Amino acid sequence: MAEVNMEQLLNCALCPNMCRCECPILQVTGREAVAPAGKARITALVRENQLDWDEDMLEAASNCLGCRGCTIHCPFPELNLCDELLYSRMTAKAEGISLPFLDPYLNNLRKYSSPYGQKTGAVVTSGCEAEVLFFNGCTSLANNPASIEATRSLLDRAKVSYKMIEEDCCGYPAQVWGEQELARQLAAENRRKFAAGGASTLVTNCPECWLTFTQRYPDLGQELPLEIIDGPAYFLRLIREGYLEPKKNPNGGDLEIISYHDPCIWARTAEKVDEPREILHMVPGLKVEEPFSSGSCTRCCGGGSMFQLSFPQIASAIARRRLEEFSKEAQIVTACPFCREGLLQEGRQVLELVDLLERSFK
């Protein structure tokens, strides 16, 4: 298991919060305890055995979206505050400290392998020796079955040999909620299922799942024996190779104004800011307009680290703040089920990239 890097955590605890302007949680709550260095200080006190966890401190240290907005201004390139907080929080359970408001979601995870509860509308495609295993993720399954249909339709259109399976959660929620053992079990189960299917490539539209498969599974000793590709890069490849030829949206006006919301993980962790834009530029009839902050300096929608379940009011306030960065006329497009869910407020319509692509064929 990855260990807390004490030197980096202390660098942060000693910093006067030089990145606080980019911490969306701090900006909507105004609460000093959730400032980046505020969380690092609390966590460092516990790590250095100067204080034991209590529920309030654990709650404050859990107030991290994993958006890595803090890295925009952070002078320590090796510091990953999100990870340091995540690894630090894992010790709380051993001390008998947990956050009771997470219990229902953890119970869902244990019982249904999804934090959202019983899975509905399972979308299993099997029967073939598929090369590509497409993983939708719990959030799409729970909130946006239409995007799964769009994905399936695109893959069919491109004649991809793929399958979708009865999914278990990738385990990310268990990790962010400090349940390392549960995360490991889910990872092991997924690894077994993925390996059994014979596919050589795993594609997912969900950045949290992608992050978990590529970066957390190795930490959990469950490295996947498949090539893992993010949705935007995969669909771009299909377009570039001529398997998909997007058309003009027949319902759109002369030029439809589109603004792409960069999901934080795609933009800052995977460093995928060009791929989605390239796709947008390949769809005829769109005028792409950047929101106030974008690319690697994008601002979070509030949906990271399962906040829509664990801290719904904060998630929603952050999404409203982010929406202010888009022009009222623009159709918002994103490439993450959490972002879509979060930004669906104030009467705004939000499409995922796959929805937009699929729409162009109708």
List 10, 27, 73, 119, residue binding ligand SF4 (CB under 6 A):
73
List 4, 9, 17, 234, residue binding ligand SF4 (CB under 6 A):
17
Segment lying near ligand SF4 (by CB under 6 A), choices 10-18, 54-62, 159-167, 174-182: 10-18
| Closest separation in Å from C-beta 19 to another protein | 7
Strands (E) in 142-282, as ranges, are 162-163, 201-204, 227-230, 256-261
Q: Which does 70 bind (CB under 5 to 8 A by kind): ligand SF4, another protein, none?
A: ligand SF4
| 3-class secondary-structure state, position 164 | strand
Neighbours of 327 (CB within 10 A): 12
Segment lying near ligand SF4 (by CB under 6 A), choices 14-22, 24-32, 53-61, 84-92: 14-22
Beta bridge partners of 204: 135, 230
Cα–chain center distance at 47: 28
List 5, 76, 99, 224, residue binding ligand SF4 (CB under 6 A):
76
Q: Is 86 in the site for ligand SF4 (CB under 6 A)?
A: no
Contact call for residues 61 and 39 (beta carbons, < 8 A): yes
Interface positions with another protein (CB under 8 A): 7, 10-21, 26-27, 29-33, 35, 38, 41-42, 44-45, 48-52, 54, 56-57, 59-61, 73, 75-76, 292
List 26, 34, 65, 70, residue binding ligand SF4 (CB under 6 A):
70
Residues 4 and 342: their CA atoms lie apart, in Å, by 31
Residues 184 and 222: their CA atoms lie apart, in Å, by 8
| Closest separation in Å from C-beta 26 to ligand SF4 | 10
Cα–chain center distance at 8: 24
Based on CB atoms, which residue is closest to ligand SF4, 180 or 269? 269
Based on CB atoms, which residue is closest to ligand SF4, 40 or 92? 40
Residues 121 and 143: their CA atoms lie apart, in Å, by 10
Q: Which does 25 bind (CB under 5 to 8 A by kind): another protein, ligand SF4, none?
A: none
| Closest separation in Å from C-beta 74 to ligand SF4 | 3
List 26, 37, 238, 244, residue binding ligand SF4 (CB under 6 A):
37
Alpha helices (H) along the chain: 6-13, 24-29, 36-47, 55-61, 81-94, 103-112, 138-143, 145-157, 172-176, 180-197, 207-211, 217-219, 231-240, 264, 274-282, 307-310, 312-323, 337-343, 353-359
Q: Do the strands 132-135 and 286-288 form a parallel or antiparallel pair, or are they unpaired?
A: unpaired
Residues 191 and 207: their CA atoms lie apart, in Å, by 18
Based on CB atoms, which residue is closest to another protein, 4 or 335? 4
Based on CB atoms, which residue is closest to another protein, 56 or 131? 56
Segment lying near ligand SF4 (by CB under 6 A), choices 72-80, 204-212, 222-230, 316-324: 72-80
